Amino acid sequence: MGSDPSSTTTRPSRRLRVSDVTVVDKSMMRRAVSGMVVGNTMEWYDVGVYGYLAVTMGKVFLPTAEPSVQILFSLGVFAATYVARPLGGIVFGRLGDRLGRQKVLATTLILMASSTFLIGVLPAWSTIGAVAPVVLVVLKLAQGFSTGGEYAGATTFVTEYAPDRRRGFFASILDFGSYMGFALGATVVTVLQVSLGDETMTAWGWRLPFLLAGVIGVVAIWFRLRIEESPVFQATQAAQEAAASDREAAEGGRPANVLVMVRDHWRPIVIAIMLVGASNTVGYALTSYMPTYLTDSLGYSAIDGTLLTIPVLVLLAVMLPVAGRVSDRIGRRTVMWIGAGTTVVLAVPAFLLIGHGAQWSTLAGLGLLALMTALWVSNQAASLPALFPTSTRYGGMGFAYNIAIAVFGGTTPLIVQALLTATGDQLAPAYFLVAMSIVGAIGVFCMRESSQRPLPGSMPAVESEAEARELVLTQDTNPNLDLGDLPFAAHDGIAETARR
């Protein structure tokens, strides 16, 4: 584009009208955010519960095995969820792009809540023998499959509901719910461990956190069933249906598959994987690896290690919406640049503080890790959907995000521990975080700025009619509006269909 926004060489013949602009329904926006946050909270609550019950679950489902085998079994079952996530992202992503986001997100939540609740009522080895661990693996695979469609769909849904100027803030609330869910799971398990003791926890107490997830799931499902389909998806669905017959004829009647999606959108997929890999390496180091590091490497008790991480997780959750709001003002890329730079500079000092051994220094080091995570993660929910057009947003997000999570997220504790064991260097985890943030910085360099801009393939979204009129009046001078990227033809086709 040229520097002169009024240049006739880049100006489309069609002009932006007030009727083109989507005015967000604030009540439905609140419902959408609430419904998605509750679902994300439940997802990460389960991650926190199972992670902190890993030792107990091994005793319950493999009571005759050696302790080391029990732990390996529990961690293997946990890892199995990440194996199933990419498949769930592909399946639910394609369905969400065809049938609608709301229907699919209700389905993923029902499957996720049911699987978690069933773990709570699953008979142990003492009752049904070897069938028990097999069924546990099946239920965790079902959880992973449903979770594969959860985050990608939730971020897609909220970003499509949110006004352009505040998309970063509203989307970051999703991750606020995620980390609060993890903290809630850790808190519930810790309270039960302290109040019931190891023997009672192994006998029946371990069931309570999973049964509680059923209650959370019912509330979340109720919220989701009250939400209407996202306005962006509604605005493009008619145009897609009108073009479907022509497209199928050109493609021999075959629907687009994953290979076609990767071929057509490989660049945003690669960028998304780099960003998710960097952000989740830092995030999982704090949430999933740090309790093990504090107990195995630094000598804290299991309960003390948990109690040190819970307030840091709450602090992180609070920082996320703040960083999301900042990204609406100064840009997603700027905040992620700061996140990458902060990780490169502060990762080593953070682990030095944690390794010092005193509680104050451990909390300070964990706080630095929380800051790095907040700067990286707060932008993910708003930035990743903006890499893809509406027609493939859910599918593209589901594929890229879950591939990255499976490779770089769930494996972070294993990789970090392996580096620590192989090198004997207590700073090896910090070096790994630095390396991944450099990879993420390359992804930031390659992505387009999306703050305050319409989503690809979508018309502008605002909070009021007055803002819509102002946007139309300033369309030639607004640096965040590129008329050449707006889908005027699709919008006019929908309007013509509505008039008929």
Average confidence score pLDDT of the chain:
83
pLDDT tens for 376-409 read: 999 888 999 999 987 788 888 888 988 888 888 7
pLDDT band with cut points at 50, 70 and 90 for residue 247: very low
Residue 240 confidence (pLDDT): 53
Q: Can you give the residue ranges of every domain in the chain?
A: 23-228+257-499
Residue 498 confidence (pLDDT): 43
d(CA 285, CA 432): 10
Query: Averaged over 1-10, what is the pLDDT?
Result: 43
Range with lowest mean pLDDT among 37-41, 292-296, 337-341? 292-296
Residue 236 confidence (pLDDT): 59
Of the chain, the percentage scoring pLDDT greater than 90 comes to 32
DSSP codes of every residue in 66-130: -HHHHHHHHHHHHHHHHHHHHHHHHHHHHHHHHH-HHHHHHHHHHHHHHHHHHHHH---HHHHTT
Residue 254 confidence (pLDDT): 43
Select the more confidently predicted residue: 197 or 5: 197
Residue 419 confidence (pLDDT): 83
d(CA 17, CA 387): 25
Residue 231 confidence (pLDDT): 65
Cα–chain center distance at 353: 29
Amino acid 286 reads: L
pLDDT tens for 337-369 read: 999 999 999 999 999 999 887 889 999 999 999
pLDDT tens for 83-121 read: 888 888 888 888 888 777 778 888 888 888 888 899 999
pLDDT band with cut points at 50, 70 and 90 for residue 219: confident
pLDDT tens for 450-474 read: 999 998 878 899 999 999 999 999 9
pLDDT band with cut points at 50, 70 and 90 for residue 251: very low
State the CATH class of domain 23-228+257-499.
mainly alpha
pLDDT band with cut points at 50, 70 and 90 for residue 322: very high
pLDDT band with cut points at 50, 70 and 90 for residue 299: confident
At residue 51, does pLDDT exceed 80? no
